[in-house]
Amino acid sequence: MITRRNMLTMTAALSVCGGSAAFAAVPGEQRFVFVILRGALDGLAAVPPYGDADYASVRGGLAMAKTGTNPLLDLDGFFGLHPALINLKSYYDAKQLAVFHNICTPYRDRSHFDGQNVIETGGLVPNRFHDGWLNRALVAMGAKKVEALAVAQTPPLVLTGKARATSWMPDTLPEPDEAYFARVQALYAGDKELGPSLTSALMLRAQSKAAMDDPASKQKVKVDLVPLFAGAGRLLAGQGPRVAVLEASGWDTHINEGAGEGQLARRLSALDAGIDAMKQALGPAWSKTAVVIATEFGRTVKPNGSGGTDHGTGGAAFLLGGAVAGGQVHAEWMGLKPEALQDGRDLPPRSDMRALFKSVLAEHMGLSRAALNTSVFPDSGGAKAFKGLIA
């Protein structure tokens, strides 16, 4: 029931966030946050397997080490974290972060659009479903009991469906991201006049961004996710939604990716700062929170000729929060030799991303295994949920 006290709490939270939205009072204390990294994060950069005998040679200029300038952050003597992920490392040490490697959705091709469709719908193939797996999970929880928040202009596909979801953005909007421009380009792809003009303009934009991201350039691309993540944290800490989805774009690092420094490092640093801002904003509610960070697919093991990486398959994901049984790296590691790679170029996917989603929804949000295997993730019987991910 919405009381005067609840309404005042929500109003105060929205005032601090600098935006506006309307929420219903929701019972229960468990919070679940899904962060989608659009563009395909390089899992070998975010979670470098520095202990693998072939790592340094196969990664070349993108390899990181435990010593020297910008050393990686050691996790377990074999895997590490990118040096930009300072806060995530502190969560790992506090056993509030679990890391997953060689993980991917069932999708095996390399289209951003199809890969994002699969990670949001939870199907075996693109366009298998027209609603999102998280929305179906909300229905299974009881749509009237849980309301979801999308930190976006409109709820993304993962929150589309029968259950109610609302969206929120700060009053000051950030610059349009790569996913936005990609959607616009797809919209005008069939237009003989506007299509080529838009493609030419976007190519020029990409070239200018690459120049700005060049280490030799004095100009640096600045990414700030703190307002979005902090605002979401404040809203989740109040009497409003208990489920949220956030998006971060810019992970399609074909050119000038960088190792310990560079454009990827700056984006990882922004993500790290955003996550910590959300943690601080959640306050005591952090102890009841689980956050999944995932991307549509990984990137190639070897760098390309432009100092970047191309679209791959297996990648990395993160589960963090005060409710998480962390301090662990979950990886069925197959090595980096050519014969161990998917198509001779990618990390092989050894874990199904849906297994991670199912585990958190079951252990943290209380969904039954039957509901997860039928209504939420149909055709996922082979994706066996992890156990013991929630403290």
Query: For 90-107, what is each residue's pLDDT tens digit?
Result: 999 999 999 999 999 999
**Residue 381 placed within a domain:** no
List residues bridging with 99 in a β-sheet. Answer: 318, 329
**Looking at the 3D structure of the chain, how many domains does it have?**
2
Half-sphere exposure of residue 290: CA atoms within 13 angstroms, side-chain side: 24
Distance CA(316)–CA(267), nearest Å, equals 16
Regarding whether 120 and 61 lie in a shared domain, the answer is yes
- Which residue range(s) make up the domain with 106? 21-167+224-376
Q: Check residue 169 and give its pLDDT.
A: 86
Residues 70-81 have pLDDT tens digits of: 999 999 999 999
Closest by CA position to 96, among listed 290, 240, 273: 290
Regarding whether 140 and 45 lie in a shared domain, the answer is yes
Six token digits for residue 220? 């640096």
Token look-up 């640096």 returns: 220
**Residue 363 placed within a domain:** yes
Distance CA(12)–CA(1), nearest Å, equals 18
List residues bridging with 329 in a β-sheet. Answer: 99
**Residue 192 placed within a domain:** yes
Burial label for 335, CB within 10 Å (0-12, 13-18, 19+), is: middle
Beta-strand (E) ranges in 83-216? Answer: 97-104, 148-151, 165-167
Regarding whether 219 and 161 lie in a shared domain, the answer is no
Residue ranges of the chain with pLDDT lower than 70? Answer: 1-28, 143-146, 171-177, 200-201, 203-222
**Residue 7 placed within a domain:** no
Amino acid at 297: F
**Residue 2 placed within a domain:** no
Q: Check residue 206 and give its pLDDT.
A: 63
Regarding whether 355 and 295 lie in a shared domain, the answer is yes
- Helix axis angle for 263-282 and 86-93, nearest 10°, is 50
Q: Check residue 89 and give its pLDDT.
A: 98
**Residue 319 placed within a domain:** yes
Regarding whether 273 and 259 lie in a shared domain, the answer is yes
Token look-up 């191309």 returns: 310
- pTM score of the predicted model: 0.83
Q: Check residue 203 and give its pLDDT.
A: 66
Distance CA(43)–CA(115), nearest Å, equals 16
Q: Check residue 24 and give its pLDDT.
A: 35
Q: Which residues contact 232 (CB under 8 A, 6 or more apart)?
A: 33, 149, 151, 168, 244, 246, 278, 281
Most distant CA atoms of the chain, gap in Å: 64
Q: Check residue 210 and give its pLDDT.
A: 52
Regarding whether 288 and 238 lie in a shared domain, the answer is yes
**Residue 383 placed within a domain:** no
Q: Check residue 217 and give its pLDDT.
A: 44
Q: Check residue 15 and give its pLDDT.
A: 37
CATH number at residue 137: 3.40.720
Phi/psi for 294 (5° steps) reads -145, 165
Distance CA(51)–CA(65), nearest Å, equals 9
**Residue 143 placed within a domain:** yes
